[in-house]
Amino acid sequence: MTPHRFLRKFVPLAFGLTYLTVFLFWVNTAPPNKIGGLVEISPGVSARSIGQTLKEKKLIRSTLWWTFLVRTLRVDKKLKVGVYSIKGGVAAHAIVGDLVQGRGETRRVTLPEGWATWQIARCLEEVGVCPGVDFLREATPHEGFLFPETYFFEPGTPASHVVSALRGRFVSVWREVYQIAQAEGAVTSSGVPLAQDDRFLDADGRSWTVREAVTLASLIERETSRSSERAIVSAVYRNRLRKGMRLECDPTVQYALGVWKQPLFRKDLTVDSPYNTYRHRGLPPHPICSPGRASLEASLSPAKASWLYFVSDARGGHRFSATYADHRASVRLYRNTLKFLKKPVQ
């Protein structure tokens, strides 16, 4: 073979191999996404579907290349189920290895509205995020300021980092809720109060701290799950505070006892605790649970009502009264309803 003929065959081949090498290197590298994202692998989901999800989140460049990789490496059935936190800038083959080994797997933690720190601590420990005792040590001073939502944490996350994430989300939601109340004229301040001891004025000119507003929201959260009642419950407690009446809020007693027990007995109402609003006037010294957005809104924007009392209607709601006589009548009706429904009366 002459040199000229050799070059005519070799140069295109070398060029093609070089192009292929460059292309494969490029397609294997991550897109210019430095954010990363969460990817959930559910039982039975195909490798191609996982690739499509990764492509949509801009974590890989090509679904086809991803599928080729996992099938060539024969790991398409070995990708571990779970939720993964994938950093931006990771090459496709490295992501394959992480999903096979289970590296970067996170834990989904859903914190319901109305949970206290001891419930959150138990949940975090059960799913393997952090020891409950560590969380309680970090979180107890922030009771009420740990926003209830769904979070994703890696196993072994330090408790302080978990608290920071929950606190950060609370600040974000509180800012939004406060600004809406501010626009509606329900509260007044030069800016958005964020620290627990920061003060603002409500529509009646009463001075509140952020802690007091969140504490009221926590009582609302534990008292009712009905969205139509939250602003009314807020009004009842505000009216009682204005008149110097004890709040007599059952959830504060439950919090003092360390358990959300029902029913409460007469001896429970005598528990010696600053959180017992049957014995002490005013709001308890701190929130009793993590209130959600709706309860925070109701705390800042109560209904315009003169009610001072409420009692369960035995059907998931409450009856509200402006006078003690009407309240006693509602209590009798509640007890009669329980008898009718064949439920034990306490």
Convert the pLDDT of each residue in 47-81 to its tens digit.
Answer: 889 999 999 888 899 999 989 999 989 888 888 88
Which residues sit opposite 109 in a β-bridge?
Answer: 151
Closest CA to 320 of 237, 236, 246, 248: 236
The tokens of 229 are what? Answer: 């009642």
Specify the CATH class of 13-103 in words: alpha beta
Six-digit token pair at 291?
């209130």
Tens digits of per-residue pLDDT, 171-201? 999 999 999 999 999 999 999 999 999 999 9
Query: Quick one: pLDDT at residue 303?
Result: 96
Peptide bond into 263 cis (omega under 30): yes
Q: In this model, does residue 103 exceed pLDDT 90?
A: no
Phi, then psi, of 287 in degrees rounded to 5: -55, 155
Domain boundaries, given as residue ranges, for the chain:
13-103, 308-346
Q: How far is CA 334 from CA 53, 113, 246, 318, 346, in A?
A: 53, 26, 22, 9, 11
Mean pLDDT of the chain: 90
CB atoms closer than 10 angstroms to residue 77: 7
Are the CB atoms for 56 and 77 separated by under 8 Å?
no
Task: Please tell me the predicted confidence (pLDDT) of residue 340.
Answer: 63
Rounded Cα gap, residues 211 and 194, in angstroms:
10
Q: How far apart are CA 91 and CA 106, in angstroms?
A: 20
Radius of gyration of the chain (CA): 29
Distance CA 72, CA 74 (A): 5
- What is the per-residue pLDDT across 222-252, written as a single tens digit (0 to 9) for each? 999 999 999 999 999 999 999 999 999 999 9
Closest by CA position to 111, among listed 137, 148, 139, 75: 148
3-state secondary structure of 330: helix
Residues 6+ apart with CB under 8 A from 233: 219, 220, 223, 224, 298, 310, 318
Q: b/e per residue, 130-146, with b = 16+ CB within 10 A? A: bebebbbebbeebbbbb
44 Rama class: left (phi>0) / alpha (psi -120 to 50) / beta: left
Q: Which of the 8 DSSP states describes residue 215?
A: H
Which class does domain 308-346 fall in?
alpha beta
